[in-house]
């Protein structure tokens, strides 16, 4: 059993949902998991044996608070098995763009995770304010049918089965390294 920190940053809440889902998968695999928002967590606790960090992309960049969390914990992250969950909507239509966000994140934070998983995010139209809803609808319309423009409902693009496999694979790696 390993104590795992699943830390995340979120703007609209979806990466928090993803972090909780991954934490449940890791618990099913027998690990003890703490889920923490980077807004309320400065460091990787000493007793922690592995870290999963999740962050979403807004306006072409990963959450600065997630970048800062990685940057100030470089040593702790290097000493433990680690993984990064990169949440974006680019992944729905343009994997190259989603990969570029990760390269930029690695350059900005100085952290090279052992494992990276690209995760499709969500269009939460009903939860956005007016301006954000209009902006996201315009962006979605420019993607030519790839993203929903129906602002009357939310659309979640996250592949939960792929995320489950990510959690199971990460847990298997931890087991193999003991």
Ligand X SMILES: Cc1cc2nc3c(=O)[nH]c(=O)nc-3n(C[C@H](O)[C@H](O)[C@H](O)COP(=O)(O)O)c2cc1C
Binding segment (CB under 6 A) for ligand X, from list 20-28, 36-44, 82-90, 162-170:
82-90
Nearer to ligand X, 2 or 109 (CB): 109
Q: Is 85 exposed, middle or buried (0-12, 13-18, 19+ CB in 10 A)?
A: buried
Nearer to ligand X, 104 or 114 (CB): 104
Which x/- pattern, by CB under 6 A, does the window 97-136 give for ligand X? ------------------------xx---------x--xx
Of 19, 23, 67, 90, the one binding ligand X (CB under 6 A) is 90
- The C-alpha atoms of residue 133 and residue 115 are separated, in whole angstroms, by 33
Of 29, 73, 86, 88, the one binding ligand X (CB under 6 A) is 88
Whole-number minimum distance, CB 63 to ligand X, in Å?
Answer: 7
| Alpha-carbon distances of 19 from 14, 35, 104, 151, 173, rounded to whole Å | 9, 7, 22, 25, 19
Binding interface with ligand X (CB under 6 A): 10-15, 56-60, 87-90, 121-122, 132, 135-136
């Amino acid at each position: 059993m390993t104590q795992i920190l699943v830390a995340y940053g979120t703007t609209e809440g979806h990466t928090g949902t993803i972090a909780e889902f991954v934490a449940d998968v890791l618990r099913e695999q027998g690990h003890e998991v703490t889920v923490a928002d980077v807004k309320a967590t400065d460091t990787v606790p000493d007793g922690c044996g592995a870290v999963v960090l999740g962050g979403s992309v807004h306006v072409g960049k990963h959450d600065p608070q997630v970048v800062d969390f990685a940057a100030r914990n470089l040593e702790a992250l290097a000493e433990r098995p680690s993984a990064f969950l990169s949440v974006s909507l680019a992944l729905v239509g343009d994997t190259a763009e989603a990969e570029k966000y990760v390269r930029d994140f690695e350059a900005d934070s100085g952290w090279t995770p052992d494992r990276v998983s690209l995760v499709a995010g969500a269009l939460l139209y009903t939860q956005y304010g007016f301006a954000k809803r209009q902006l996201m609808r315009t962006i979605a319309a420019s993607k030519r049918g790839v993203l929903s423009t129906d602002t009357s409902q939310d659309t979640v693009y996250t592949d939960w089965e792929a995320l489950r496999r990510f959690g199971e694979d990460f847990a298997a790696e931890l087991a193999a390294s003991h």
